[in-house]
Amino acid sequence: MRAIAYRQPGPIDRDEALVEVELPRPVPTGRDILVAVRAISVNPVDAKVRTGAAPLDGRDERILGWDAAGVVEAVGPEATRFKVGEEVFYAGDLMRDGSNAEYQLVDERIVGHRPRSIGFAEAAALPLTAITAWETLFDRLKVDDQPAGGARAVLIIGGAGGVGSAAIQIARARTDLTVIATASRAETGGWVRDLGAHHVIDHSRPMAPQIAALEIGAPAFVFSTTHTDRHLTDIAELIAPQGRFALIDDPASLDIVAFKRKAVSVHWELMFTRSLFDTPDVGEQGRLLDAVAELVDEGRIRTTASDTLSPINAANLIEAHRRIESTTTRGKIVLEGWDSPQA
């Protein structure tokens, strides 16, 4: 089978940053399913791993990719959730070969049934960001349990990115929260409004005065998707006493002393934690994706795919990585289709 991989970590603008390789088609065992990949999308984690992580287990190459939609080609002897021919979408496991290949093995417990109302490309944009947003809202921030004193509102910093775009929609579809999203450009501001944000503020300017000007009170929940270290002082000022704060990025340092006075709880979300540690509730991710698919098919969540490149090859994947690293994208970049029959 064909796959797109790297052999040495490093920047995207170098020779052989990502290359096409030929590998044996994997065979499913245990609860794995083998998926014929039809579409993939690219996330910041792809660029982060490619820049700094060597291939796994001493291998010559590493296959990235943590978003895919495809068709079940074969199932392991212990797999029960899916049958050959079913269409699926998933984000996969950080410590296994990724979705930048014609075929991929994935544990069935972290796989969902593809939404029927959208295509493979549109579905591939959703899994990683939807899981991250859902887990942050309901497992980390526990937004269904309102702290005393704060406004029933969530501030989503970086609302136009992939995770922010998913979080806005999930919050609107599954909660009664007032959703405040941040954006710094007219284009991204329009994007988050279209996704359902009740209010939009500019994260390039002090946010606390903008929140105060909304006259809705201090939000009980703040969800930071990017540049958390730049905004930390502002967040500590604007969040409600006894509020809850969650982040997903990787600041070089994070001094949270300013939260003590307000007894703010701090939560870090990583959607790979369940699969990394094979937690007893790892199957929640498959059920979560099925719930997301239902919301899509009901018209309550839409895909966050903003650009589709075709076919899936090294050149297009390199271009997608370049755009992701610019940190100016909105929504998700998707790649669809292989340029010849799969083998």
Q: How far is 204 from 91, CA to CA, in rounded Å? A: 31
CA trace torsion 333, 338, 339, 343 (10° rounding)? 160
Work out the angle at residue 237's Cα, subtended by the Cα atoms of residues 215 and 270, and round it to the nearest 5 degrees.
105
Model pLDDT, residue 340: 66
Are the C-beta atoms of residues 140 and 243 closer than 8 Å to each other? no
Q: What single letter denotes the amino acid at residue 52? A: G
Are the C-beta atoms of residues 263 and 241 closer than 8 Å to each other? yes
Are the C-beta atoms of residues 39 and 100 closer than 8 Å to each other? no
Tracing tokens 């903008």 back to the chain, one arrives at 210
Residues of the chain with pLDDT under 50: 343
Q: How far is 162 from 185, CA to CA, in rounded Å? A: 16
Which CATH superfamily groups domain 2-127+281-336?
A: Medium-chain alcohol dehydrogenases, catalytic domain (3.90.180.10)
Model pLDDT, residue 327: 75
Architecture of domain 146-269: 3-Layer(aba) Sandwich (3.40)
Are the C-beta atoms of residues 292 and 124 closer than 8 Å to each other? no
Residue range(s) of every CATH 3.90.180.10 domain in the chain: 2-127+281-336
Tracing tokens 């199957």 back to the chain, one arrives at 283
The per-residue pLDDT for range 190-210, each reduced to its tens digit, is 999 999 999 999 999 999 999
Residue range(s) of every CATH 3.40.50.720 domain in the chain: 146-269
Are the C-beta atoms of residues 212 and 230 closer than 8 Å to each other? no
Model pLDDT, residue 343: 46
Q: How far is 343 from 340, CA to CA, in rounded Å? A: 9
Model pLDDT, residue 245: 98
Note the Cα 115 to chain centre separation in Å. 17
The per-residue pLDDT for range 296-315, each reduced to its tens digit, is 999 999 999 989 999 999 99
Are the C-beta atoms of residues 226 and 250 closer than 8 Å to each other? no
Q: Which residues contact 22 (CB under 8 A, 6 or more apart)?
A: 1, 2, 3
Tracing tokens 């610019």 back to the chain, one arrives at 326
pTM of the complete model: 0.94
Model pLDDT, residue 224: 98
Note the Cα 154 to chain centre separation in Å. 18
Tokens of 112: 């969902």
Model pLDDT, residue 326: 87
Are the C-beta atoms of residues 289 and 130 closer than 8 Å to each other? yes
Note the Cα 133 to chain centre separation in Å. 7
